[in-house]
Structure 1
Amino acid sequence: MRFKGFEGEWKEILLEDFAKRGSGHTPNKSYSEYYNGDINWISLTDSKKLDNGYIEFTNTKISQLGLDNSSAVLHPAGSVLLSRDAGVGKSAVMKKSMAVSQHFIVWTTKENVSSNWFLYNVLQILKPEFERIAIGSTIKTIGLPYFKKLKITAPSFHEQQKIASFLSVVDEKIQQLSRKNELLAQYKKGVIQQLFSGALRFKDANGADYPDWEEKKFGEVASKKSSNISANKIEENFGDFIIYGASGVLKKVDFYKEENDYISIVKDGAGVGRLLYCKGKSSVLGTMEIISPKQSIDTYFLYCLLSNIDFSKYVTGSTIPHIYFKDYSNEVCGIPSLPEQKKIAAFLSGIDAKIAHTGQQMAKSQRFKKGLLQQLFV
C-alpha cells in the first residue's frame, strides 16, 4: 500500500544517520536527594506504558541534582525510545522532555530529514526481530553494537510524514485507552493506600462498622513456596494449563503445580517485586515465588496487601537484584476481619475488571494497527 503522489524506491540507511542516538543512566540510589524531583525518568518499571504511542508520565522522578551527578541526560520532547533489556523491543515517543535509565536507547530525529512518528512505527515493525536476537538467561538484552550497525528503509521526509499522519488516528485511539488504563490503575493505587492507612473503611450489610484491624507480620498471614520450572525446558505450547512468567501468561502446557489461586512475585532480575494474581490449576517459572494465604485470609485481599508493600527497601544485590521472603515477611500489616477482607477484594477486583477490559480494547486496536503497518511497510 502506498499513498498517491509518491514515487521512487525507499532508501536503506543506517539508523545512526537517520537520527541521533542517545542513552541514559541511573542516579545513585544511596542519595535520596537525587530522587523525587520534577524530572520524569523512564525506568524498567515503566515498561507497561510503552508500545502505546506517547509516554507522558513515569513511575519515578529524579531531581536536577540527580541528573547533574550521573550520566543521565535530558532528552527533548518528541524523542523516540526503545527498551533493550526487560520488555526488550518496546518503544514510545516522549510527550515531554525526559531522562532514561541505561536500559533504554533514545533517538532524536533530524529536522526535515526524519519523522519521529515514522521512526516509532519502524521500531514497532522491528520488535519481533529485537525479541529474537536478544540474549541472556535471566535478563534478555541487546548490546549497543547491534544498533550501531542497524539499517532501516525509509522514504522521503514528506512521505514519512504522510505515513505517520495516517497512522496517527489509530495511535491516538491507543493513547486514549492507555491513558484511561493508567488513570484506573492510579485510582486503584489511591484506594489501596486509603484502605491500608485506615482513611477508608467499609460498612457491613447492616451499615455497622467492622471490627478493628489487627496488626500482624506478613509471614503470619501468608506462606511462601518456590518453583523449579525453567523456561528453557518448556518446549511445548499446548494444553489447558497456564505457566506464568514475570509479565503474565508465558505458555500453556499439559500439567500444573498449584491447585488454588495464589500470588506470584518476581524474586530476582529486572522485574524484581512484580506481582501477579494467578488462577488455580497453573504454575510459575523458577524466577518467581508462590505466595499463598494462611487460614482466614482471602487470596485477593492478600494480593492487594502485597501491592501496598514497598519492596524496594528489601532489594539486595547490585548486578542482579533479589528480594527474599524472610525479609519482607517481617513487614507489619493491618489485617481486617475475613468479611471485610472479602468486601475489599470485591471492590478492588471490580476496578481490575475495568482495567482488563480497557487492556483488551488496547490489544484489539494494536492488532488493527499491526495490519496497517504490514501493508505500509511491505
Structure 2
Amino acid sequence: MKHVLLGDICDIQSGGTPSRSCQDYWKDGDIPWVKISDISGKYIKATEEKISQHGLDNSSAKLFPAGTILYTIFATLGTVGILDVDAATNQAIAGLQLKDKRVVRDFLYYYLESCKSKVNAIGRGVAQNNINMKILRAFEVPLYNVDKQKEIVKKFNVIENLLCQYEHKYNILEQLVKSRFVEMFGGNKYPIQKIGTVAKLQGGYAFKSKDYIDGGIPLVQITNVSKSTLIWEEKNCVPTEYLEKYDDFCLNVGDIVMAMTRPVIKSLDAVKVAILNANDTPCLLNQRVGRFIIDADQLNPIYLMTICQMDEFKQYVELMSGNSLQPNISSKQVEDYEIILPPLNIQKQFADFVALTDKSKLSIQQSIETLQTLKAKLMQDYFG
C-alpha cells in the first residue's frame, strides 16, 4: 500500500486568537470562530463565539473556507471536523485544505479520526499535551485509488448515519424525562428547599500520585466523571488495602458523584454528574470530585440525578464556577442550589418513570456501542 505525507496533500495552517482586550475584535463580530468545544460532530455548522473583520486582520487567525478539515493539535488532541461554513479558528486547531485530487476529502476525514489514539500517545510525551505542525505534516495517509476511497467513505457514512439516528432517539428519551419532570413538579405545587437540607456534597481525598500502582483500586477523578456515567479511558489506581484505610471515601453502587473542577462538559452541554453502577465498583473518591450523601427519608437519588441534569442546574453551576481556565465550584455552592421538594412517594413515582425510559436508553446505547465497535474494526482494517 502506497502512502503519502499529509503535508504533501494538504495546505496546513493553525489559527489564532484576537486580543481579548480589544472589544472591536469581538463586538458585533460576524465571522464564526471555532474552538475545540465547537467540534462535536462531523460537520461544524455554528460556533459559540464570532470575531470581527478587524479582529481577523489584526491577529494570527485565518479564515478557512467551508469544506476545510479542522484538526485539534493542543490539549484535546485528534478531534476532527469539517467546516460547513467559512470560519476562523483558535491556535489549538489546524486547518487542512486538500490540494491533491488523488485523495477524497471524506476519506481523509475518516483517516484522521482513526489517528486519535496514536496522536494522543504522541502528545502525552510532551509537556503541554500537544503536537506541532511538523508532526502533523508527517502523518502517512494510505493512498487507495479514488473509487476504493469512495467505497470506504460510503461504508463509514452508513455507520455515521445510523449512529446519528440512535443518538437522536436517545436524546428524545432524555427530553421526555425532563418534560415529565416539568409536568409533575412545575407550577409551585411543592415547597422549595436548598439541596443542603436533604443532601451533603462530600469532597474526595487527596490521594498522592506516588502511591499509584498498576491494577489495584481505581480512583474516581475529574476526568472519569462524564454525563450520567463514569468513563475509564484514563485510570489511576491505589493499593487494595486503601479500601479499608480510606473507607470514608469508598464509593458504592447508586452513589451520585459530581466533578467540582471543570464541572461542565461544553461539548455535551451538561454537568459532569454520574451515578455509579456495578461495573464501577470498588473505587475511591478522589479530591475535586464530590459524592452526594442523601437523606433517604426526604430525597430519592434518581430525582436528585434528574435535577442535576436539568438546564437550570447547569446554568447555576456555570455561574458559580466562573469562566477561568480552571473553573471550580464548592460543596457549599452546590448545596445552596434550591430545588423543588415534593413528598418522597411522588419522587418515587417519577423515579419509576425514569427507570422505564432507562431501559429503552440502555437498548439504544448497546446499539451505539455495537456500531462504534464495527467502525473501529473498519478503521483498523483500512488505516492500520
TM normalised by structure 1 equals 0.72
Match of 2:118 among 112, 125, 129: 129
Cα RMSD, aligned residues only: 4.3
Whether 1:246 and 2:225 are equivalent positions in the alignment is: yes
* 1:12–1:154 Cα contact (<8 Å) kept: yes
* 2:3–2:141 Cα contact (<8 Å) kept: yes
Match of residue 3 from structure 1: none
Match of 2:159 among 148, 173, 191: 173
What secondary structure is seen at the aligned counterpart in 2 of 1:236? coil
Match of residue 305 from structure 2: 303
Q: Distance in 1 between matches of 2:236 and 2:192?
A: 39
- Output one character per residue of 1:158-185: Cα deviation in whole Å (capped at 9) or x when no partner: x255224324223322333234314532
Q: CA deviation at 1:24?
A: 6.0
Q: CA deviation at 1:302?
A: 0.9
Q: CA deviation at 1:128?
A: 1.7
Match of residue 217 from structure 1: 194
Match of residue 267 from structure 1: 260
Q: Which moved more, 1:119-128 or 1:354-363?
A: 354-363
* 1:15–1:147 Cα contact (<8 Å) kept: no
* 1:215–1:332 Cα contact (<8 Å) kept: yes
Q: Distance in 1 between matches of 2:308 and 2:324?
A: 24
Q: Assess, with a 3 A threshold, how the Cα gap between structure 1 residues 338 and 327 changes in structure 2: closer, same or farther.
A: same
Q: Which moved more, 1:14-23 or 1:216-225?
A: 14-23
Whether 1:279 and 2:277 are equivalent positions in the alignment is: yes
Q: Assess, with a 3 A threshold, how the Cα gap between structure 1 residues 290 and 80 changes in structure 2: closer, same or farther.
A: farther
Match of residue 332 from structure 1: 338
Whether 1:291 and 2:292 are equivalent positions in the alignment is: yes
Q: Which amino acid aligns with 1:188?
A: E
Map 1:1-378 onto structure 2 (within 5 A).
10-15=2-7, 17-23=9-15, 25=17, 43=35, 45=37, 49-50=40-41, 54-55=42-43, 61-62=48-49, 69=55, 75-84=64-73, 87-94=76-83, 103-110=92-99, 112-135=101-124, 141-145=129-133, 147-155=135-143, 159-160=145-146, 162-185=148-171, 188-189=174-175, 191-192=177-178, 194=179, 198=182, 200-201=183-184, 212-227=189-204, 228-229=206-207, 233-237=211-215, 243=220, 245-247=224-226, 248-250=230-232, 251=235, 255=243, 257-269=250-262, 273-279=271-277, 281=281, 282-295=283-296, 296-308=298-310, 309=313, 310=315, 311-316=317-322, 318-378=324-384
* 2:166–2:368 Cα contact (<8 Å) kept: no
Q: Which amino acid aligns with 1:277?
A: I
What secondary structure is seen at the aligned counterpart in 1 of 2:250? coil
Q: CA deviation at 1:287?
A: 4.1
TM normalised by structure 2 equals 0.71
Q: Distance in 2 between matches of 1:131 and 1:213?
A: 49
Q: Which moved more, 1:340-349 or 1:140-149?
A: 140-149
Q: CA deviation at 1:146?
A: 5.3
Q: Which moved more, 1:315-324 or 1:95-104?
A: 95-104
Q: Which moved more, 1:90-99 or 1:115-124?
A: 90-99
What secondary structure is seen at the aligned counterpart in 2 of 1:290? strand
What secondary structure is seen at the aligned counterpart in 1 of 2:184? coil
Q: CA deviation at 1:26?
A: 9.2
Q: Distance in 1 between matches of 2:165 and 2:304?
A: 27
User: Which runs of no fewer than 5 residues in structure 1 stay unpaired?
Assistant: 1-8, 203-208
* 1:24–1:105 Cα contact (<8 Å) kept: no
* 1:217–1:333 Cα contact (<8 Å) kept: yes
Q: Assess, with a 3 A threshold, how the Cα gap between structure 1 residues 364 and 260 changes in structure 2: closer, same or farther.
A: closer
- Output one character per residue of 1:132-172: Cα deviation in whole Å (capped at 9) or x when no partner: 122399x973143454553323426xx25522432422332
Q: Distance in 1 between matches of 2:22 and 2:76?
A: 26
What secondary structure is seen at the aligned counterpart in 2 of 1:201? helix
User: Which runs of no fewer than 5 residues in structure 2 stay unpaired?
Assistant: 244-248, 266-270
Q: Distance in 1 between matches of 2:89 and 2:288?
A: 26
Q: Which amino acid aligns with 1:201?
A: M
Q: CA deviation at 1:321?
A: 2.2
Q: How many residues align?
A: 350
